[in-house]
């Protein structure tokens, strides 16, 4: 049904089943159900048996369920993590940059729900297919900061407005650390410039989409700009190939997703990352 980035390396996965998988053994008059989990293979290993551990997998406990009225189906929820079980360094979750490289060659990730109960053999569901494009979209989704944060007075930014609400102004993602990093904390009024406010930002710019072959403008073309803090802003280029205007408190390097054969130029932004535009929408 859906997959959504929650926090750090945790993703919420929602799916449906024609059976109550949380109380399956109890429904059939048996006790001893230990737990319900979901396993998704990232490396093509389709041995989901409890005696075997998939090296690259998405794994999580199925912990929430509701009956869909009038449909005789159950909607289930699991918090999953993408992990490399072959690592022994104490941090086995797969970092976003690496995860995208693993997923890109595939169309679907295959999953099964596994239920264990004492003293019975494990129960395995049929295979569920998750479109890789939906997973990648969430891996690349901006890290969402809380609207407000509570800080001790000693940790507050220096300001005459000591009682002004404080926000996480910028997230910073780095491939090496184990977690997303807080880039800066400030007053909520210092939040990112967006929309029409971008024109009033201390640093603002537009990019221009051009054909790589002859550098001519590329109008009416889909794009997605990735900001320095990981936010993603999508749009369609204007008749002259211009994107929308982006603004920020300080200078930042931008990334952009465009279709093959198209590039982006801007006199004041020499650092531009180009890749295929990944904007196709697939529902499941």
Structure tokens at 65: 């369920």
Beta strands 254-258 and 272-276, pairing class: parallel
Whose CA is closest to 128, among 52, 226, 16, 237?
Answer: 16
21 and 124 in a single domain? The answer is yes
Q: For the segment 11-51, what is each residue's pLDDT rounded down to a tens digit?
A: 999 999 998 999 988 888 888 888 899 999 999 899 999 99
13 and 132 in a single domain? The answer is yes
Banded model confidence at residue 81, pLDDT cuts 50, 70, 90: very high
Residue 10 included in any domain: yes
157 and 87 in a single domain? The answer is no
Banded model confidence at residue 262, pLDDT cuts 50, 70, 90: confident
For residue 135, the model assigns a pLDDT of 93
Residue 192 included in any domain: yes
209 and 161 in a single domain? The answer is yes
34 and 134 in a single domain? The answer is yes
13 and 135 in a single domain? The answer is yes
Which range of residues forms the domain containing residue 264? 153-276
Alpha-carbon distances, residue 175 vs 105, 166, 233, 238 (angstroms) = 21, 27, 21, 34
Distance CA 237, CA 219 (A): 5
Among 90, 114, 139, the domain-final residue is 139
For residue 145, the model assigns a pLDDT of 46
Give the count of domains, the chain: 2
Structure tokens at 199: 């024109």
20 and 120 in a single domain? The answer is yes
As a whole number, mean pLDDT of residues 71-85 equals 90
**Cut 0.75: pTM above it:** no
Q: At 56, give phi and psi (nearest 5°).
A: -110, 110
32 and 81 in a single domain? The answer is yes
Residue 282 included in any domain: no
Range with top average pLDDT, 55-69, 187-201, 256-270 = 55-69
16 and 134 in a single domain? The answer is yes
Among 112, 139, 166, the domain-final residue is 139
130 and 160 in a single domain? The answer is no
Residue 67 included in any domain: yes
23 and 53 in a single domain? The answer is yes
Q: For the segment 146-188, what is each residue's pLDDT rounded down to a tens digit?
A: 445 555 666 655 554 555 555 655 555 554 544 556 666 665 5
Sequence-ordered alpha helix ranges (H) in 127-225: 132-139
Whose CA is closest to 225, among 140, 129, 105, 127?
Answer: 140
Among 139, 165, 185, the domain-final residue is 139
For residue 234, the model assigns a pLDDT of 80
């Amino acid at each position: 049904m859906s997959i959504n980035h929650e926090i750090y390396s945790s993703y919420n996965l929602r799916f449906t089943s024609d059976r109550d998988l949380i109380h399956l053994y109890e429904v059939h008059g048996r006790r001893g159900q230990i737990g319900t989990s979901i396993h998704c293979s990232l490396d093509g290993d389709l041995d989901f048996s409890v005696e075997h551990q998939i090296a690259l997998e998405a794994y999580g406990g199925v912990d929430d369920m509701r009956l869909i009225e009038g449909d005789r189906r159950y909607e289930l929820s699991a918090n999953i993590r993408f992990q490399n079980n072959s690592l022994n360094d104490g941090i086995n979750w797969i970092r976003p940059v690496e995860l995208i490289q693993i997923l890109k060659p595939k169309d679907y990730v295959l999953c099964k729900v596994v239920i264990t109960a004492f003293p019975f053999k494990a129960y395995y569901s049929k295979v569920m297919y998750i479109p890789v494009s939906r997973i990648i979209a969430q891996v690349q989704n901006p890290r969402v900061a809380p609207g407000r944060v509570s800080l001790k007075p000693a940790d507050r930014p220096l300001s005459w407005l000591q009682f002004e609400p404080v926000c996480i102004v910028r997230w910073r993602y780095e491939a090496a650390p184990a977690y997303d990093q807080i880039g800066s904390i400030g007053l909520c009024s210092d939040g990112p410039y967006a929309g029409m406010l971008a024109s009033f930002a201390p640093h603002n710019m537009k990019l221009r989409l051009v054909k790589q072959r002859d550098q001519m403008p590329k109008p009416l073309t889909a794009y997605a700009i990735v900001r320095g803090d990981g936010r993603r802003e999508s749009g369609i280029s204007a008749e002259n190939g211009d994107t929308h205007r982006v603004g920020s408190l300080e200078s930042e390097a931008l990334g952009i997703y465009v279709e093959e054969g198209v590039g982006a130029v801007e006199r004041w932004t020499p650092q531009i990352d180009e890749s295929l535009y990944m904007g196709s929408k697939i529902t499941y």
